[in-house]
Amino acid sequence: MDLTVLLGAPGSGKGTQAKRLTESHRVIHLSTGEMLRSAMKSGTKVGHLARAYVDRGELVPDDVMNDAVHEALLPLPSDANVVLDGYPRTLDQAQSIDKKKEFRVDLAISFKVPNDVLIERLTGRRLCGSCAKPYHVKFSPPKQEGICDDCRGTLVHRIDDSENVVNHRLQVFEKQQEELTNYYKNRNRFEEIDGNRSPDLIHQNLSKILEEWFR
């Protein structure tokens, strides 16, 4: 299994880019944020446990996330190209995945975006409540306000995309990111990209890195 992890603050574009890679490079995209939102929606045990953390912009405990990611990776074919988006978020998570004999993170790619840009992206973000397609009130509004162009679902503003919670999420991210990036830098499995560019340019940059790395 080729395993790439995308690191970067909330709103840095990891999810958008991972989705594009599923179309261009046949990768399997696993987003822990989406896994948790879907568990919360369907009311599973993990969903109940996660809600208090997610809505407040806190990290869900490491042991819960480590088990959830392990379970999600186990059934995948051994020749799969997997992109993890939103995991690992702590040093414990990074160490946990490397401790598992079956999996090894080959490459970590970190997205760099200034904080003022992240805040504008996150607070204006809307998601379709049915198909999870992302929109932005200014940068990519739907044709009809509040309605998804694709499935006609209602657009929602995530509780954790409100301004207070966004500020807290960015603080949580900053606290963890140095030791997390150092972990991969020290193991020579680290690349950084400028995430404050057009999605097309970032996609080109990302594709080049993956093609060179997994040649």
104 counts as catalytic: no
- The strand pair at 155-156 and 125-128 is best described as antiparallel
Q: Smallest distance, Å, CB 37 to ligand AMP? A: 7
Nearer to ligand AMP, 169 or 203 (CB): 169
Question: Residue 30 or 202: which CB sits closer to ligand AMP?
Answer: 30
CB of 54 to ligand AMP, least distance (A): 4
Closest to ligand AMP by CB, 128 vs 215, is 128
| Residue 161, phi then psi, degrees to nearest 5 | -100, 5
Relative to beta strand 125-128, strand 134-136 is antiparallel
Catalytic residue among 20, 37, 121, 169: 169
Residue 198: CB minimum distance to ligand AMP, A: 22
Query: One of 20, 37, 89, 126 is an active-site residue; which one?
Result: 89
How far is the C-alpha of 62 from the C-alpha of 46, rounded, in Å? 13
Q: Is 125 a catalytic residue?
A: yes
For residue 14, indicate whether it is catalytic.
yes
Specify the residue, 27 or 54, whose C-beta has the smaller distance to ligand AMP.
54
Residues at the contact surface with ligand AMP, assessed by CB under 6 A: 10, 32-33, 36, 53-54, 57-60, 65, 86-87, 89, 93, 160, 169
Mapping DSSP onto H, E and C, the string for 8-52 reads: ECCCCCHHHHHHHHHHHCCCEEEEHHHHHHHHHHHCCHHHHHHHH
Q: Is there a catalytic annotation at residue 121? A: no
Q: Active-site residue 19, yes or no? A: no
Active site residues: 14, 89, 125, 158, 169
